[in-house]
């Protein structure tokens, strides 16, 4: 646990060329660090942000902050990610979802294009996990990190972590991918596509040109609602809500506007989650996710796996709807077939995909063993 205040910093690249060949100017990414880099520059852990997260993995920015970073329980002196031993870096994403959070630094569709003086909107380049990794690599080199002891991420961050192993095989010793696979299979592609539809169907989206006007808040909130439902499990819904009414006095059978509690809560949460977000940023992150394929640029997927030198830990969640166990097991076995040193662990959880964060304590012994192996 981090007790001192954490400082948010900005990494500026200048010009950055994406894998698609397009270039933008004045590229920025926010990041924060915990602990101290050793003289050899080899004790670093890099944390890749998951879909809706930011660089804020631990600590607080201000004494008045109500919440600490999302992994505060495992980062700090004597913790699982021991800041007396490791130098830990965490960054915002390209096109970070929380674009309008004042503590987020990100270049994306909502940013101003210095060449036109207007928002990029859909003129922003389509990007992949490799683009994200390339920016992160430049950030780490600027911090004098000579080699990563570990790169770790959950969900979309875990997809990001896998790409590190292929993009810079000599730079990474260990990769921990939590509830994520090296390839987003067709099932995930379709889910990501479905989550994009409500935004694009909102009449206020205007093909992405809504800046300075009314934003597509209803479509964006519905997207976040759908994402929330898919991220949990049927067991979670049954245990938390059952068939409770939103209002004990309003039977859902008596009027169309009378709802069940789960309907009301998930709808409300959709609007809350979209408060600091940007709809175009959501579309671009989803596009990045559905493009995920570790074999991109190689003759075959197997050829890509052969280049991996890092030791891999894959963690799956028993009730995950996004990365089902048999999908995860397939990719784990592929790693072994191609000679990759890989381990596989399943968290027994009734929380679905969110079990990777909410039931994280169940994998602490496995992570500790992997770190010290």
Catalytic residues: 155, 320, 353
Residue 177's contacts (CB-CB under 8 Å, 6 or more residues apart) are 152, 153, 158, 159, 161, 162, 312, 313, 314, 315
Distance CA 233, CA 35 (A): 36
SS3 343: strand
Q: How many residues does this entry show for the chain? A: 373
> Is 15 within 8 Å of 67 (Cβ atoms)?
no
Which is nearest to 65 in space by CA: 1, 146, 153, 5? 5
> Is 87 within 8 Å of 140 (Cβ atoms)?
no
Is 230 exposed, middle or buried, given 0-12, 13-18 or 19+ CB atoms closer than 10 A? middle
158, 220, 108, 290: CA torsion to nearest 10: 40
> Is 157 within 8 Å of 53 (Cβ atoms)?
yes
Other Cβ atoms less than 10 A from the Cβ of 367: the count is 20
CA distances from 75 to 81, 86, 278, 349, 370 (A): 5, 10, 29, 23, 16
- Going across the sheet that includes 44-48, the strands are 9-17, 23-34, 87-91, 44-48, 148-154, 174-178, 311-317, 342-347
């Amino acid at each position: 646990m981090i007790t001192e205040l954490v400082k948010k910093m900005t990494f500026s690249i200048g010009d950055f060329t994406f894998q698609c060949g397009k270039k933008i100017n004045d590229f920025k990414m926010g990041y924060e660090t915990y602990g101290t880099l050793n003289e050899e520059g080899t004790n670093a852990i890099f944390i890749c942000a998951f879909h809706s997260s930011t660089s804020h993995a631990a600590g607080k920015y201000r004494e008045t902050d109500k919440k600490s970073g999302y992994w505060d329980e495992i980062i700090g002196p004597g913790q699982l990610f021991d800041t007396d031993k490791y130098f830990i870096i965490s960054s915002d994403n390209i096109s970070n979802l929380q674009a309008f959070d004042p503590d987020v630094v990100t270049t994306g569709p909502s940013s101003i294009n210095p060449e036109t003086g207007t928002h990029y909107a859909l003129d922003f380049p389509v990007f992949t996990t490799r683009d994200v990794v390339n920016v992160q690599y430049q950030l780490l080199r600027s911090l004098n990190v000579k080699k990563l002891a570990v790169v770790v991420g959950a969900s979309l961050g875990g997809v990001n972590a896998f790409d590190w192993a292929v993009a810079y095989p000599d730079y990474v010793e260990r990769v921990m991918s939590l509830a994520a696979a090296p390839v987003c299979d067709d099932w995930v592609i379709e889910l990501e596509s479905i989550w994009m539809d409500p935004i694009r169907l909102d009449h206020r989206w205007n093909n992405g040109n809504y800046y300075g006007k009314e934003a597509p808040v209803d479509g964006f909130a519905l997207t976040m609602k759908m994402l929330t439902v898919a991220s949990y499990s049927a067991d979670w819904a049954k245990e938390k809500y059952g068939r409770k009414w939103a209002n004990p006095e309003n039977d859902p059978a008596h009027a169309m506007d009378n709802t069940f509690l789960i309907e009301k809560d998930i709808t409300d949460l959709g609007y809350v989650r979209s408060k600091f977000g940007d709809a175009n940023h959501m579309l671009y992150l989803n596009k990045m996710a559905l493009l995920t394929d570790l074999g991109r640029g190689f003759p075959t997927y197997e050829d890509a796996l052969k280049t991996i030198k890092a030791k891999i830990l894959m963690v799956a969640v028993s009730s995950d709807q996004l990365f089902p166990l048999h999908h995860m097991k397939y990719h784990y076995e592929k790693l072994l077939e191609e000679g990759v040193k890989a381990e596989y662990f399943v968290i027994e959880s009734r929380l679905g995909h969110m079990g990777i964060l909410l039931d994280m304590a169940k994998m602490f012994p496995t992570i500790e063993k992997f770190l010290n192996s």
